[in-house]
Structure 1
């Protein structure tokens, strides 16, 4: 069978992310126009844990918010899927998530509109749990179908490895040295705050159950403002700036060679934070210079930090010494 051209596969993934928000927005608008004369002026827009309305909004503001969320979903995930097309595995995940979120959101918005139809008092509106369950089921079904439509990443995701020389620092046999820097992220705190704020909005308008993943993701992300990176006889150690845990360590015996290279978080790893993809993993908090360690397993470990060349040179010297010691030299 003929294989799909990578460009056509990439375009399919972008469509998987963009088409559902467009169709969901059209369905919401069509539903609203068809029942507008049967909706109360003061609509119930949030159904509490007991299945009864406890949040209200005008028709116009509800429609504007709903369409804005769906259009924003399409723009955000469509742009990400387009920008990250050089990383097919991550592009596939982003496309499926964006489409599934749009299906879930659109389904719930239509369900809220129908629940408000022909209701004299908005406070009496209820939304049975089965309708929410159907929304999640529809999103899961779309995610499964979208995953298949996106296709496999035919082009293997390879590890680029260090792009700059694997130098050494001159150290005597009995000398020791350490290197440490603090690296930070401007994107993570802002993104985390936006995700957490979105979770609060979803909680008040849709329900706290669908908002929980956003809050669980957003709050820690907002607090992850930086990390301390250390290169010494223990290898590479990365610790959050504001807390002693969680700490990540790559020991010297696992490092075959260290260098440094430029890393783009989105294009290379699909985002910020602790990232992993086939053949590579690491702590990616910003764009720019990064320690790039080729491990004995053949994979790559990266940490974005300033002065990465010095850290890499020290790691190479210490790793060489470690190997000589282990060999009895």
Structure 2
């Protein structure tokens, strides 16, 4: 990757993600072709925890799977890096992970090919633990280098400022109002159900102790069906739909201005749920309209919810009145 400093940040990050996958695929293919005559027809393709072979396949299927995984890594992570170009913090992490996974995969595939060379019985194939350690070490080194190559993005390159002329509701001096809506997620419950289902399968086939992490993770995800968002004189309050706790509150005095805009959870925050990234935090449960509060610190608090414009107008009116009232009284 020569002269990467002269490339735009997004181009550098794409190279950090995709280049290791392509080089690893070329290395695997080259190693396979050079060793093909020395490889058994039935290869040891999976090495168990003890370093001994416990999975086998033919030469062609092993090569196809290995190349498919490496090319798939380039397509998947390369696509994510391009899609997340407006969210530079998570984009940098995804770029480094994609490249490191390719380095790790390529190293281990070549090690398996070398371990199969010149063996008569594939069940006798072993892979020393040192190879795994070297593979993870190489991935870690590449991750560190990739992190530096990716570089930082100056604030403002991918920022969205709230409108300066945000709307205000017309409220009398003693008039008050409350806005409240529920918002939900389809991704989190679906993910929770899938994780729970996988945990049940693992529990039945392998043992409930092995399935415990999946069950513990899947249950709360399946129950995260929504939240109630309230805007009033207390500021912004977000609580689970079917419970009053835990709740999150952004006091009115911390809100400099409120607005609304479309939000993509994965592209802007790297996922769903309660998210934190440089310059912003919030509860993003779906793609679409969001209430965006610019805080006195300059950071943003975001909640994805319908009719966010009305909530923003109410908060702006209440905040203006709060600032005009001595001591907030």
TM-score above 0.5: yes
What's the TM-score, normalizing by structure 2?
A: 0.77
Q: Give the match for residue 63 of structure 1.
A: 63
| Counterpart position of 1:181 | 182
Aligned match of 2:133: 133
Displacement of 1:316: 3.8
What does residue 48 of structure 2 align with? 48
In 2: Cα distance, 1:89 partner to 1:284 partner = 17
Asked if 2 retains the 8 angstrom alpha-carbon contact of 1:31 and 1:113, the reply is yes
Counting only pairs closer than 5 Å after superposition, residues 190-269 of structure 1 correspond to structure 2 as 223=222, 226-233=225-232, 234-239=234-239, 247-269=247-269
Q: Structure 1 residue 304: deviation in Å? A: 1.5
Q: Which consecutive unaligned segments of at least 5 residues does structure 2 have?
A: 202-213
Q: Tell me, yes or no, if the aligned pair for 2:40 and 2:119 is still in contact at 8 Å.
A: yes
Q: Distance in 2 between matches of 1:243 and 1:33?
A: 61
Instruction: Indicate if the aligned counterparts of 2:322 and 2:328 stay in contact, CA closer than 8 A.
Output: no
Deviations 1:228-250 (A, max 9, x none): 13214554344566888765443
- Number of corresponding residues: 310
CA distance in 2, matches of 1:187, 1:328: 39
Distance 1:51 1:187, change over 3 A: same
CA distance in 1, matches of 2:307, 2:115: 59
Q: Distance in 1 between matches of 2:118 and 2:313?
A: 72
Q: 1:230 to 1:8 in 2, by over 3 A?
A: closer
**2:75 aligned partner:** 75
Q: Structure 1: state its 5+ residue gaps.
A: 201-214
Instruction: Provide the rounded CA distance (Å) in 2 between the counterparts of 1:270 and 1:85.
Output: 11
Query: Relative to 1, partners in 2 of residues 1:173 and 1:78: Cα closer, same or farther, differing over 3 Å?
Result: same
For 1:179 and 1:169, how far apart are their aligned partners in 2? 18
Q: Aligned-pair RMSD on alpha carbons?
A: 3.8
User: Secondary structure of 1:327's match?
Assistant: helix
Residue 69 of structure 1: how far off its partner (Å): 1.0
- Cα distance in 2, alignment partners of residues 65 and 176 from structure 1: 61
